[in-house]
């Protein structure tokens, strides 16, 4: 069913108002990025990543010369900050997050959009972490 002419005018005028008022645009973006479904998806994504990180750090700690991972990858997960790198940004967070997204897409054969969602979830999570930290 095509939208009515009245609804089209309302959407157009709302869109124009957002373009003219940067504060309204910013508020609309914040509301959009905090949508319940988005928040739920991001929460699930970050929870899954935490489980994976815990498992990989545990495996790296328990292995003394595994042939399934390279030495540089193993040493990355043996870094003292590795276990907490999905809780707060650390010097190894970007490398570990890249390993996780690569693992999802290549090993688990998930779609590229899953990797994009993971990236967006952590970006939002760390932005929120940064805001909270600086408000204290």
Q: Same structural domain for residues 43 and 16?
A: no
pTM over 0.75: no
Q: Same structural domain for residues 10 and 51?
A: no
Q: Same structural domain for residues 91 and 66?
A: yes
Tens-digit pLDDT profile for residues 59-116 = 998 885 555 555 666 789 999 999 999 998 999 999 999 999 999 999 989 888 899 9
**The pair of three-digit structure tokens given for residue 37, joined into one six-digit string:** 């479904």
Q: State how far the Cα of 103 lies from the Cα of 76, in Å rounded to an integer.
A: 15
Q: State how far the Cα of 81 lies from the Cα of 93, in Å rounded to an integer.
A: 9
Q: Same structural domain for residues 91 and 46?
A: yes
Q: Same structural domain for residues 6 and 66?
A: no
**Structural domain for 22, as ranges:** 1-33
Q: Same structural domain for residues 84 and 28?
A: no
pLDDT score of 7: 46
Q: State how far the Cα of 111 lies from the Cα of 123, in Å rounded to an integer.
A: 19
Residue 133 has pLDDT above 90, yes or no: no
**Sequence-distant (≥ 6) Cβ neighbours of residue 91 within 8 angstroms:** 81
Q: Same structural domain for residues 20 and 86?
A: no
Q: Same structural domain for residues 68 and 96?
A: yes
Q: Same structural domain for residues 41 and 83?
A: yes
Q: Same structural domain for residues 4 and 63?
A: no
Q: Could you tell me how many helices (H) and strands (E) the chain has, helices first?
A: 6, 0
Q: Same structural domain for residues 40 and 8?
A: no
pLDDT score of 4: 46
Q: State how far the Cα of 20 lies from the Cα of 61, in Å rounded to an integer.
A: 55
Q: Same structural domain for residues 13 and 27?
A: yes
Comparing C-alpha atoms, which of 49, 39, 58, 54 is closest to residue 102?
Answer: 49
The count of domains in the chain is: 2
Tens-digit pLDDT profile for residues 77-93 = 999 999 999 998 999 99
């Amino acid at each position: 069913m095509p939208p009515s002419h009245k609804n089209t005018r309302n959407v157009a005028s709302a869109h124009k108002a957002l373009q003219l008022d940067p504060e309204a645009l910013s508020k609309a973006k914040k509301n959009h990025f905090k949508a319940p479904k988005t928040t739920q998806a991001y929460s699930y994504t970050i929870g899954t990543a935490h489980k994976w990180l815990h498992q990989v750090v545990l495996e790296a700690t328990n292995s003394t010369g595994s042939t399934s991972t390279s030495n540089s990858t193993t040493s990355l997960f043996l870094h003292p900050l590795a276990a907490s790198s999905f809780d707060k940004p650390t010097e190894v967070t970007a490398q570990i997050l890249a390993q996780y997204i690569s693992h999802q897409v290549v090993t688990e054969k998930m779609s590229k959009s899953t990797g994009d969602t993971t990236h967006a979830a952590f970006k939002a999570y760390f932005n929120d972490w940064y805001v909270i930290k600086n408000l204290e």
